Structure 1
């Protein structure tokens, strides 16, 4: 484990039991060929290509592409802010074709709080990519704030899936993205160098 404060740890431990009773995982497919481009981007000026993809229950997945790198945003972004938000890796990262949504049941309403998606990140010093679970807060209709809340390295970390769910169920409840410092959890393999701005 790396760079996680005592207050965040207490929150994770204290809320894990309650969250498990009301939050379930729902899985959707991610296929970039089904995305619809709405901005072609400008590689020369560093503006990524932008597309909207099918998500969960009407919540979109927004895909940005720059060369071989990708950035994904889940839900509804603050108006006009999508192009200024980028979360990816320095070396090429490829997202898995399945997205895990952590969905809160509140009466008849289903609220997707967070997503967990496995990324395969190129590592020049290794024979195989490093697998990282990217945990993101979903931009809800009434809040319009989505952001990275955690990086959980799955390679060399047998408890990565459960850890990612605990991070998702806790930090995705925070109303303000700017107040969230992404949690970094590592096993025996360090987190690959990543890029994060606009959050």
Structure 2
């Protein structure tokens, strides 16, 4: 083989390698985030019957997925899907008094046709944790797995103790939500926790 042909072939090989390296991150980027507002004033509300029962809200989520919100004794319960009120998530809450956030992050897989298939949500709650004779405010990011299969909470992140709280919550969603077994697997707490962090209610 002549030196000229050898150099030409070498350039082709290196060009192909460079293209494959450039394409690898794009191919691996199959999970994306989308956001929908959570404003209970714009949701359909059914009043509760008991004094501490604030009722039920049915809100619009991403891709037509319903969001089911209930409030009782200053605690929130948020579930998702057509059967949301009967899912485990509809009975899961935090130990402290808390309120819901204003935006839901949906983690989705992008199919070959470009369509997004949500598999988890991330919602930030504002907490009020008792500490002796004072109350400490906090924030907790809650990760919930979506259908197919049961809808339930997968993990928690202290939104104030971790500067990268959003990234930690996405890590839980991406690595655990799709294979999480509701009722069998235990939800995780990722990252550091501070005095304003509220664990899930038992």
Under a length normalisation based on structure 2, what TM-score does the superposition of the two structures give?
A: 0.74
Could you say which residue in structure 1 is the equivalent of 2:81?
75
CA deviation map 1:63-116 (0-9, x unaligned)? 0111322110122337x7259932222322112101111011112331111111
Please tell me whether the aligned partners of residues 174 and 180 of structure 1 are also in contact (alpha carbons under 8 angstroms): no
The alignment covers a number of residue pairs equal to: 174
Could you say which residue in structure 1 is the equivalent of 2:50?
43
Please tell me whether the aligned partners of residues 94 and 200 of structure 2 are also in contact (alpha carbons under 8 angstroms): yes
- Offset of 1:118 from its aligned partner? 1.0
- Offset of 1:128 from its aligned partner? 4.7
Could you say which residue in structure 2 is the equivalent of 1:169?
174
Please tell me whether the aligned partners of residues 41 and 50 of structure 1 are also in contact (alpha carbons under 8 angstroms): yes
CA deviation map 1:106-158 (0-9, x unaligned)? 123311111111111002336651111101112x3xx2521000011121212
- Offset of 1:164 from its aligned partner? 0.7
CA deviation map 1:26-79 (0-9, x unaligned)? 0110001122135x44427x877222111101001100111322110122337x
Please tell me whether the aligned partners of residues 88 and 151 of structure 2 are also in contact (alpha carbons under 8 angstroms): no
2:151 aligned with 1:146, yes or no? yes
Q: Which has the higher helix share?
A: 2
Rounded to whole Å, the distance in 2 between the matches of 1:27 and 1:155 is 21
Under a length normalisation based on structure 1, what TM-score does the superposition of the two structures give?
A: 0.75
Could you say which residue in structure 2 is the equivalent of 1:62?
68
Could you say which residue in structure 1 is the equivalent of 2:198?
192
Could you say which residue in structure 2 is the equivalent of 1:179?
184
Could you say which residue in structure 1 is the equivalent of 2:5?
none
Please tell me whether the aligned partners of residues 87 and 152 of structure 2 are also in contact (alpha carbons under 8 angstroms): no
2:135 aligned with 1:130, yes or no? no
2:107 aligned with 1:102, yes or no? yes
Supply the RMSD in Å over aligned alpha carbons. Answer: 2.9
